[in-house]
Structure 1
C-alpha cells in the first residue's frame, strides 16, 4: 500500500514526550535501548522534513521549484503537492508531466526534478511538498513559496543628460553582496531583468555600455556613451542572489535634445582674416568663454591656444568675437563657442565654416569678342572704287561661313574651262555693278556691318 505524506513531522514532539514519560516509569535494563529506538523513529520522520526549500516568485510570472532525491530513486514517480498531500492535493506528477498551469521535468542524471508554476497569483503562496512515491511512506521535502509584485522600486534616482554625451549610472549595494554578480537592464520588471540585461559584471564591455564594480565603495557604475533620445527611460540595477529574489535599485534617465542651439554658416577666403561672432546671455558676462572645433560638442577640441585664433570681447557684453588672422584650408569645419563651461542648451553657438580660394579673372578679350568688334567696325573713309567692293550686312559668324564656303567652292571648280567661267562672270558682274551703284547711293550709316570682298573675276579679266 502507498501512503502519501503523513503528519508525523507535526507530532514529533508529542510522540517523544509520551515515550519519555513511559520509559521513566520503568526501572529495567532495557530502558536505554527503548529510548534509543524511540529517538530513531522520531529522527526518521524528521529527516523527510529537514532542509526547507525557499522559493520566491513574481505575481503574474512563473517560478521553478527544484527538489533533489537520493540515488536509487531515478525510476520512481515524483510529484508536487499542497496541504496534507492527499490524492486530491497532488498538483502534478511525472506520470502526467503537464496539468493545468503546472509542468514537471525529472533530470535523472542530476537526480533533480523541477516543477514550473506559471501565471502566479497571491493565493499560490504558501507551503508545498516535493514527493517521491514508494511503498509505504513517500519521501518528501518541504517547499515554502513567497510571492512579490513584479515592479520596482519605492525610490527612483533621476538623471538628465544630453544627446551625444556620456552618462554614468551609479548603483549601490550592501557589502555582503561584494562577490555577487551585478547587471543592469531596461524597464522596471525584476522578473525578466537578468534575462534582458544590457551588460553584466561577467562581461564588462558591451558596445556603448561599460560596467565597473568598486567593491570597496559598495557601488557598481554603468557608463553609457554617445547618448541618444532612445536611451531615455527606466533602468534597473540588479544584484543576483541564489536562494532569494535579486536586489534592485531603479533609475530614470532622460536624454534631452539640443533644441535651442543657434547655428550659423560662414564662408571665408584662404589667406584672408575672418571674424566669428559668438553671442551669450547677459548673466554670463563674468563666465569664461570657449571656442572648440569638432563635429560633436562634447568631444570638440579647444583651439583658443593657437596664435591665429584670438578671442575679443566688445562693449555691449552680449557677444564676443573670434578673429582668425590668416585663414587656412584646414580651418574648414564645425566650431562651437559660448560662455557656459557646462555647455547647456542655448548657451553656445554652432558655426559651420567653409573655406574657398581667391578667384583670379582674366582681362584678355576672347577671340569671338575680338572678331565681333572687328566685324562691326565701320570704315571712316568713303568707299572708293565701288566696282571692286560689294556691300553686305551680315553677322560675324555668317561671314566666317561665307569665307569657308568660298574656299571649298574654289577648290571644286578650279578645273572648269576658263572661257566658260569668264563669260558667266562677265554677265554677272554687269548686273552686280548696277546693284552696287544703287546701294551705295542709298546706304544708311548706323549699326550696319560692311564687308568688302574683291571680285575674283576682275583679277581674271586683268
Structure 2
C-alpha cells in the first residue's frame, strides 16, 4: 500500500498542461535519470497508445520500445513503463556515460513523438557515486545523499530499484518528513540523509538519490517539464540478523559466554546489556564488571567475552551482547535460563605434584552431547578460555554418563588456582560454557630425600611477578620481595621460619640460601642432616604464595636380613608407622606395596614395631622401607632383605 501512495505522489509532480515538442534531460556521468514522455491528445484510445519507444535512431538499436502496459520493461540499462490512463510513459536510464549524450526521440509508433536532448555532465565531485552498505535485520541504518549546493531548494528524491517496478519511496519538499520505516531529512547544505528503521529482507536492493529539476538549474515551476537526476546509488545488503540464543546454566554455578561479531566491526566498542536496561561498556580494553557480570572486549579477535559467577534465580532473563556502530547497535539476544542443581558438587580440592599430572572430575548434563571445556580463574576471579598454546596439556575422557575427566599434564607453578569445567555449546555467533564444577588445585614439590649426615637442596620456584629487583651501587641486584622457607605453613602461628632471602647474617651455620632472580628460583641448602629435620616445609612470598615441600630423612644405618625360602623373618624398626617395598622411599610410600591385613603373609603384631613375613619366596628379596612420621613427613629406615634357597647335601657328603 505504501508503494502505491508514493507512486501517486511522484507522478503528480510531473503533471503539466500544454504541448511540448522538445525538452532537455540532464544526467550525471555514472548516475541515472528518470523522465516522462507525454502525449498531447488525452482522448486517444488505448489501442492507439500501444507501441511506445525511446530511441536514438530509427532502428532503435540504442533505446527501448514496448507494447506492454502497466509493467516495467527492461533493455539492458534502459527501462520503460507505459500507463495510458495518465497520458504519458516513463523512461528510466541507469549508469549513464558520456557516450549517452545526444538527441533522442520518444513517442507513440502511430500518432506522436517528442524530441529529447539528453545531456550527460561529469563536472560534479558527487557525480555518479556508487557505494555498498550492509545491515542486519532489525538494525537502523542511515546514509547520506550528496548534491550540488545549487540544488539546495530543489525537491529531493529517493528511489528504490527493485526489479518490477521502480517506485518512489519518498519525495521530500520540506526540511524533514517520515513515513513508517523511511525518514528523509534535508537540513544540510550539501546533502540529505535517509534513515531506514527496523530493516528486514524486503529492504535489500538498490536505492537512488536524486533531485527534481527541469532543463535549467533553477527550481522547476508548476508547469515545467521535470525529470529526476540521480546522483548517488546505494546497494543495500541485508544480512541475517545476529541471532537470539538460549543459554542454560545452573544456580550457584557460573557461565562463560563469547559473542562473535562481523569482521568489519572488530574494532568497534562492545557492550553487554543486562535485562534490557543496564549497559556495561568497555573503555580501556580490559575486564570490567557490574556486580557479578564481567565483560572483556577482545578487539584483536572481534569477540566479546562475558563471565557471570555465583548465579541466582534473579539472573535469569534476557541479555544483549552487542557492538556499537555509527548509526545504531548490533546485538545478539541471550535468553539465560537458570536451572536448579541437584547432582553437581559444590566444590572439590585436588593436589598435584609439579612436573606430574592431575585429573579433575567434571559433570555435564547427560542430555548435552557437547564439547568439554575447562578454564582457570584469573586474579579477578574471572574464568577465561584456555589459550591454544596450552590445549595439548589438557585431555578429556568420558568415564560415566554425565561425568568426564579433565587431565592436566606436566603441572607447573602457574597451574595452581581455581578451575571450572563444564559443557560448551556453539551457535553461529555465540559460544556458551555452562560451568558446573569448581576445583581448587594446590601444588606441591616432589619430596626431597636426604640421608642423615649428608646435605640436601630445597628449591623453591616462584612467579616472575615476585621478582622485583633493587640494584645496589656496585651493580649487584637483589630482589626487593623477600622469600621464605618455613617448617610448617609460613605466616601461621605454629610456623618456624628457617631462613629468608634477605638474611645478611648466619643464624644457623648448617643452612645457606641463594635467590636466583633470573631463574625465579630460591634455593636453600641444608647440611649435616638430622632425623629432626624431617617434616613438611613451605616456600613462601609474603602471605600470597605458599608451596609445600616434604623432606624425608633416611637414617644413616641400614638394616639387613637374610632368610630362607619357605621360612619367615621379623623386621623391627623404631616407632614404625608404615612399611612398604620400593626402589625409592618417596615412590614406595606413594605407589609401593604396603603391608596390610589383605596380605596374609605380612602381619603387624599388636603393640610392636616389627613386621613378620612368612612363607618367604625368592621374589621377596629386595629393598624395603619402614618409617615413622615426624611433622607430616617420614624418618625412614632402609631394610635390605635377601631370601636364599637352601640346597640339601647328599648322605655322606
Q: Which has the higher strand share?
A: 2
- Quick check: TM above 0.5? no
Higher helix share: 1
If the length of structure 1 is used for normalisation, what is the TM-score? Answer: 0.39
